[in-house]
Amino acid sequence: MSETVSLDDLYTDLHAHPELGFQEHRTAAIAAERMRLLGLTVTEGIGGTGVAAVLENGAGPVVWLRADMDGLPVEEKTGLEYASTATVVGADGIETPVMHACGHDMHVTWLIGAMERLAAERADWSGTVVAIFQPAEETIVGAKAMIDDGLLDRVPRPSIVLGQHVAPFPAGIISLTSGAAMAGVDDLTVTLHGRGGHGSRPETTIDPVLAAASTVVRLQSIVSREVTPGKLAVLTVGRLHAGTKSNIIPDDATLDINIRTIDPEIRDRVLGSVRRIVEGEAAASGMATPPTITMNMSAPATVNSAEHTEILRASFADAWGSSIIDYGTVSGSEDVGQFATAAGVPLVFWITGGSDPETVMTAQAAGRFEQDIPSNHSPYFAPILHPTIERGVDALVLGAQTFLGAR
């Protein structure tokens, strides 16, 4: 894309052309090109499709600004002129629609805009800013992939890591939370091994569908009956797959389970309870083969440095006053904290609103926020361009300048 392309056009282009994790070749190339147009040192292909761009401006701290790039296997239903019609063929041979249903297109736009501003305003700060364009956040493996590929040795090591995520708050609002900002995540696949047969002769089978159904119901008792009230824990069975035809009892049934927690002790308790219930339901069904339990991915909670969060809160409050709030811990998950952990430095990660303020106020007044305001991962999720773009760029610039040196 040429240097004359505005951030508006950049965003709508990225939105119309989403790519899944580790397939972000087009997005990464656009980010790299925009960074090279600024004269920055750019490294591509880190951890697959990751990009890092270094803006050096004299002695001082090193601030990393991070944006994730990947979309989701969701069919877009926003009806926007720039809505995605993209599809990909997965490893299973099935064609799947792709959409930026979590706002990573906005994140990339923010980071490009911020780097352009910081490059143009070199007289106002000193130090180094590193832009990190990360792949595969949705599968919580992209940050680790970049780290494992030597990211910390290929660019200046950070003094602090900063980032932000768009969410269905009113555009212009920023939420900063000290300590645990987002939950950790564990993603499991459970396979129950029954014995298949004809649907007319269930007595000759061990029905894994019935066992799976009982397991799903029983799993929902973990949070309500085994987790201390007030402690964050979420357990979702997002997928149940079994069988091919109504009159065939299959051999196996598979559950995909997603767990969100903050407290390590609660995490261990929930994971232990999942195993106990799955194995118990298998035994109750008379299954001779124990169930298979596979951990697909896991990431710890995203924890902000309390000291640095409050420093940034003061900067943001001076600039935007009551637009700065503290929503508290979010049950969604992120892998941005792995950059800070690997480098042994503080993290500050915040949430920036992207919904139309009037629409949000109307929905809240009617008690219909959840029904009327699309959330991240919804096929209807689409941040408004303004003032979302401006506030996000401003926040990254001010965030970086807060921790950089002064001229």
pLDDT digits (tens, 9 = 90+) for 10-54: 999 999 999 999 999 999 999 999 999 999 999 999 999 999 999
Same domain (yes/no): 239, 140: no
Same domain (yes/no): 264, 358: no
Q: Is 310 annotated as a binding residue?
A: no
* pTM score, whole prediction: 0.94
Supply the pLDDT for residue 92. 74
End-to-end distance of the chain based on CA atoms, in angstroms? 33
Look at residues 187, 189, 349, 327 and name the one whose alpha carbon lies nearest to residue 260. Answer: 187
Are the CB atoms for 206 and 195 separated by under 8 Å? yes
Point out the domain boundary residue: 242, 266, 299: 299
Same domain (yes/no): 143, 160: yes
Q: Is 241 annotated as a binding residue?
A: no
Same domain (yes/no): 127, 221: no
Are the CB atoms for 95 and 399 separated by under 8 Å? no
Residue at 2 is within a domain: no
Same domain (yes/no): 47, 124: yes
Q: Is 104 annotated as a binding residue?
A: yes
**Considering its fold, how many domains does the chain have in total?**
2
The kind and range of the H/E element at 336 are none
Same domain (yes/no): 156, 118: yes
Taking the C-alpha atoms of residue 281 and residue 220, their distance in angstroms, rounded to an integer, is 14
Look at residues 41, 55, 212, 57 and name the one whose alpha carbon lies nearest to residue 127. Answer: 57
Mean predicted confidence (pLDDT) in 164-177: 98
pLDDT band at 4 (very low <50, low <70, confident <90, very high): low
The per-residue pLDDT of the chain, averaged, comes to 96
Point out the domain boundary residue: 284, 299, 314: 299
Residue at 1 is within a domain: no
Q: How far is CA 23 from CA 12, 15, 28, 298, 396, in A?
A: 19, 15, 9, 21, 26
Q: Give pLDDT tens digits for 102-160.
A: 999 999 999 999 999 999 999 999 999 999 999 999 999 999 999 999 999 999 999 99
Q: Is 56 annotated as a binding residue?
A: no
Per the structure, the complete domain to which residue 162 belongs is given by 7-183+301-403
CATH of the domain at 279: 3.30.70.360
